[in-house]
Amino acid sequence: MAKSICICGTGSYVPERIVTNVELEETSPTNRNWIQEKLGIMSRRRVAEGEATSDMAVAAGRKAIETAGLKSEDIELIILGTITPDRLIPSAATIIQRKLGAVNAVAFDLNAACAGFVYGLITGAQFLETGHFKNALIIGADTMSMITDYEDRTCAYYGDAAGAVVIRLIESENGIKSMYFASDGRSVDSVTVKGVGSEHPLSEEVLNNRWQYLYMGGKDVYNKAREIIPMSIRKALKMANLTIDDISYVIPHQPNLTLLKECAVDVGLHLEKVAIVLDRFANSSSGNIPLAMDLLNQEGKLKDGDNILLVTIGAGWTWGSVVLKWKG
């Protein structure tokens, strides 16, 4: 039997604190009806004081390692997709490595904005395909509340969460069937944290213009996502020699429900096959897809042999899709 790269364990974590639309409406310039009806978001999670991205990632990672039947010291590679690392230096992945006790792992961060988890999964798969590593822990985690501007109505979009998977190269007919990713760097200002980097270091100008917070041009994002998500789905399906009817679940990045509904109609996908978690957890950037995957797995909805399609788009622009046959 040929060897394939399979997801052998999943895990996720969300903070305890729930922030409702009513609470957000009381403190920010937004409207609960608009949030619920347009975005499809009912609530989001927010980290506790002192809780960092690495803490969420470790909690999710531990569960993924456990469900994979491994120990922390067995992990050979850790890739963290994030835009909210604990510190600029060192990488949050090395902090995670220390907290997990994954003493034999190589660890690094990957910033592809909301596409971070899918980029991480594709990157990790390459290392396994070459035989350099036998397994990898791929994590998507973001503390969006740390870069959210609560004086802007787009604050309603974001929440904090983490998800993780363990991938292994094993003898199986299941596993990853296609991988596609791409980028287009012409949209640097459409979604950005303009300040506190080398281009605009921390200064009075940065603070006065609130450049330390995430800016999102809603119309630009919507139009690009509306174009890219269906295209990426079709691309991955063609590479896997499958049709949309062969897919049991599409697990997408979660910008807003209206967009996801339109994309589903575009590709001929029934909405019940779209894994939605934004209603409870909002947009947690790289955390969305692995969180949704783990919840489906916990609920016993992912069956051996099911075809699963992951699709995402992030700032940059960055985007990608993966088709995999689930190994139960």
Q: In terms of residues, how long is the chain? A: 328
> Going by DSSP bridges, is the β-strand pair 135-143/77-81 parallel, antiparallel, or unpaired?
parallel
- Asked if the domains at 3-173 and 177-325 fall in one CATH topology, the answer is yes
d(CA 122, CA 178): 10
Q: Does domain 3-173 have CATH number 3.40.47.10?
A: yes
Where in the chain are the domains?
Answer: 3-173, 177-325
> Going by DSSP bridges, is the β-strand pair 135-143/307-314 parallel, antiparallel, or unpaired?
unpaired
Tell me the CATH number of domain 177-325, given options 3.30.70.60, 1.10.8.80, 1.10.760.10, 3.40.47.10. Answer: 3.40.47.10
Which structure tokens are listed for 34? 């608009």
Q: How confident is the model at residue 218 (pLDDT cuts 50, 70, 90)?
A: confident
Q: Where are the beta strands (DSSP E) in the chain?
A: 3-13, 17-20, 43-46, 77-81, 106-110, 135-143, 160-171, 175-183, 191-192, 215-216, 249-252, 307-314, 318-325
Alpha helices by DSSP H, listed for the chain, are 21-27, 32-34, 53-67, 92-100, 116-129, 204-208, 218-240, 257-267, 278-281, 288-298
pLDDT tens for residues 143-152?
A: 999 999 999 9
User: Active-site residues: which are they?
Assistant: 114, 253, 283
Q: Centre a 10 Å sphere on the Cβ of residue 137 and count the other Cβ atoms it contains.
A: 35
> What's the pLDDT score for residue 192?
95
Nearest 5°: CA angle at 115, between 294 and 41?
Answer: 60
Percent pLDDT > 90 in the chain is 93
d(CA 251, CA 129): 24
d(CA 283, CA 301): 22
pLDDT at 44 over 90: yes
Q: How confident is the model at residue 88 (pLDDT cuts 50, 70, 90)?
A: very high
Q: What is the mean pLDDT of the chain?
A: 96
pLDDT tens for residues 24-39?
A: 999 889 889 999 998 9
Q: How confident is the model at residue 2 (pLDDT cuts 50, 70, 90)?
A: confident
